[in-house]
Chains A and B, each alone.
Chain A
Amino acid sequence: MTAEDRRAHTRAHTRADLLVAGGGPAGLTAAATAASGGLSVVLVDSGHALGGQYWRHPPAGAQMSGTDGFHHDLTAYRSLVDTISGHAETGLVDLRLGHHAWTVRRDEDGIELHVVDRRRPGADRAVVLRGRRLLVASGAYDRQLPFPGWDLPGVYTAGALQALLKGGGVAAGRRVLVAGTGPFLLPVAVGLADAGVRVVGVHEANDPRRWLRHARAVAALPGKAVEGVEYAAALLRHRIPVRVRSTVVAAHGRERVEAVTVARLDRDGRLIEGTQQRIAVDAVGVGWGFTPQLELAVSLGCELIGSEDGNAVVDVDAWQRTSVPGVLAAGETTGIGGALLAGLEGRLAAEGLLREVGCGAPSVRLRPVRRAVARQRAFSRAMREAHPVPAGWPAWLDDETTICRCEEVRHRVVREAVASGASDGRQVKQLTRTGMGWCQGRICGFAVECLARGEVPGVAAPAPASERLVAAPLTLGALARLPSHEVE
């Protein structure tokens, strides 16, 4: 037995108090709070550095400079990372970066999280992590709507443009247009401009006056309004044109994007013919809100509820507990709400556990935390209602638009399936192979659901969260190399 095998063997037979899947704001805060209260924690993240997407950082030892400027609340991030690192040194926290969770099992003793260590290409290693409880803090990714040309190189998700900046110090183009909906478009545009990119437009599909219906939720969080004003000032300073009720309806180019067509939308999110305008770009970033990553929660059978943005999200109680005993969820998996709310939910999850096992300090007053959570949730609900997916989006598709990028399924094929009776995304998938490729429908799933139903999913009938039995790819070789004591 090698030393590594011995360590693996020991770990296999000791259950951590808490497994945390995801090292973003929710997972980091939960892990730091739980470990500081004396609980043993395994913190797993697929990234090369802690922080998730919001606090995406280059890995330790990276040599690019100037990425700090793209961030908010770095003091909070550094303090959390310091806490985690301190506990990792004493062994209380087992930190697993570069590990992708691919499935999860639950039995009477707790949770088995199956992960694959993918830190070296071609050297995947399967690992089984055991804990008494699991916090699902797996975050979210940009939601997309197809348009003609969206599969051209140089068309990115808005999140990709920001990930390149934060994680690699790289600006993806010289003339960039940002489109879609939601406040997230603003930091993406400002970040690019700060990096010296000419941002030729921010095209927000919705009318900002939609926020007026939620004046109370906004007034309760003056910080958000200040942030908005700061972005407005930055957009002005960089002379970035902002267009509302406008969006990208096509991208053009041969081997890469060379231009986009933008068009105006009416109040109901329908394209206004005759308003199309062509703009030269060498990159474009698009985002229509976010989709939570629910694979782990879905395969454990956690109950889901609808959210205003048409997503299914994990239903949790006041301590972030899901319907499945021993399984908690925090952050975007419980509803798209941003980093501050995610951190607060992670804190509540950990405080609840500390109380449950008797190491909670009842002196820690949680009333202010709960008040902050309530304000953040009201604000995020307002955000989801103010930035819906435009009802008329399918009007900008043509017959040959790619809908499923992986399996290269065109709109014409999807439409024929719907015409022949497919009435939800699952049926379209069975007929056309949409969502059956590498990404397993993560990118086209919401759009296909819209096309199949003939309407945009909402809070009452959200787009279903797909069950993905294998949540991350791994090689059969990696499975075969699992030590025998790990296989039951």
Chain B
Amino acid sequence: MSTSTFRFDGTDIAFVPGQSVGAALVAAGRPSWRTTRHEGSPRGLFCGIGVCFDCLVTVDGFPNERACLVLAEAGQQVSTQEGSGHDR
């Protein structure tokens, strides 16, 4: 079982090829990677199958990607999404 890494908010997260970004973050012990638009509450993965949109994350500069659907890739730049992801 080989592992690679992607960058998440400046740290390396190990993943096994085939895992989603969300699965890799959960496996790394990080259950949240977004704050909500109104209250700034932390959110992470909830439904795990692309239905709930709670796990939105910014991947390689593109906000609002569902972390449970995007496959992790070596060297990917993943960052916590604040609010809508467009107001930085």
- A residues adjacent to B (C-beta < 8 A): 46, 48, 53, 58-59, 61-65, 118, 121-122, 141-142, 151-157, 159-161, 163-164, 167-170, 172, 255-256, 283, 405-408, 437-439, 442-443, 473
Contacts and interface: CB of A to CB of B under 8 A. Distances in A.
A63 B18 contact: yes
Contact of B56 (A53, A155, A172, A438): A438
Interface in B12-32: 16-20, 23-24, 26-27, 31-32
Given A59-B71, A61-B18, A256-B32, A122 B47 contact: no
B49 A156 contact: no
Contacts of A167: 19-20, 23
B52 A442 contact: yes
A156 B48 contact: yes
B6 to A, nearest CB: 12
A408 B48 contact: no
23 contacts: A48-B71, A53-B49, A59-B18, A62-B19, A63-B16, A64-B1, A64-B19, A141-B49, A155-B46, A156-B45, A159-B48, A160-B47, A160-B68, A168-B23, A169-B16, A169-B19, A170-B26, A170-B27, A172-B45, A255-B32, A437-B53, A438-B56, A473-B64
Contacts of B68: 160, 163
A121 B62 contact: yes
A437 B37 CA distance: 11
Contacts of B23: 164, 167-168, 170
Nearest to A163: B48
Majority-rule SS of A interface residues: loop
Nearest to B76: A121
B46 A122 contact: no
Contact of A121 (B17, B42, B52, B70): B70
B49 A159 contact: yes
Interface in B34-54: 36-39, 41-54
A53 B64 CA distance: 23
Majority-rule SS of B interface residues: loop
Contacts of B37: 408
Interface string B50-83: 1111101001111011001111000000000000
A121 B65 contact: yes
B20 A439 contact: no
Contact of A168 (B27, B43, B60, B70): B27
Interface residue tally on B, bucketed by range: 35 or more
Contact of A170 (B19, B54, B56, B69): B19
A442 B70 CA distance: 20
B43 to A, nearest CB: 6
Given A63-B17, A164-B45, A167-B23, 15 more contacts: A58-B19, A155-B46, A157-B48, A159-B47, A160-B46, A167-B20, A168-B18, A169-B19, A170-B23, A255-B32, A256-B42, A406-B53, A439-B51, A439-B52, A443-B46
Contact of A65 (B1, B41, B62): B1
Contacts of A406: 53
Nearest to A174: B29
B2 A63 contact: yes
B53 A438 contact: yes
Contacts of B16: 62-64, 168-169
A121 B60 contact: yes
Contacts of B18: 58-59, 61-64, 168
For B2, B23, B49, which residue has the most chain A Cβ atoms within 10 angstroms? B49
Contact of B48 (A61, A160, A437): A160
A19 B68 CA distance: 26
Given A170-B26, A405-B52, A122 B19 contact: no
B54 A405 contact: yes
Contact of B42 (A118, A153, A170): A153
B39 A408 contact: yes
A443 B47 contact: yes
Contacts of B69: 46, 118
Nearest to B65: A121
Contacts of A283: 31
Nearest to A257: B31
A157 B32 contact: no
B14 to A, nearest CB: 12
B48 A255 contact: no
Contacts of B42: 152-153, 255-256
A164 B62 contact: no
A142 B49 CA distance: 10
Contact of B45 (A65, A160, A442): A160
A141 B47 CA distance: 8
Contacts of B1: 63-65
Contacts of B51: 141, 439, 442-443
Nearest to B61: A122
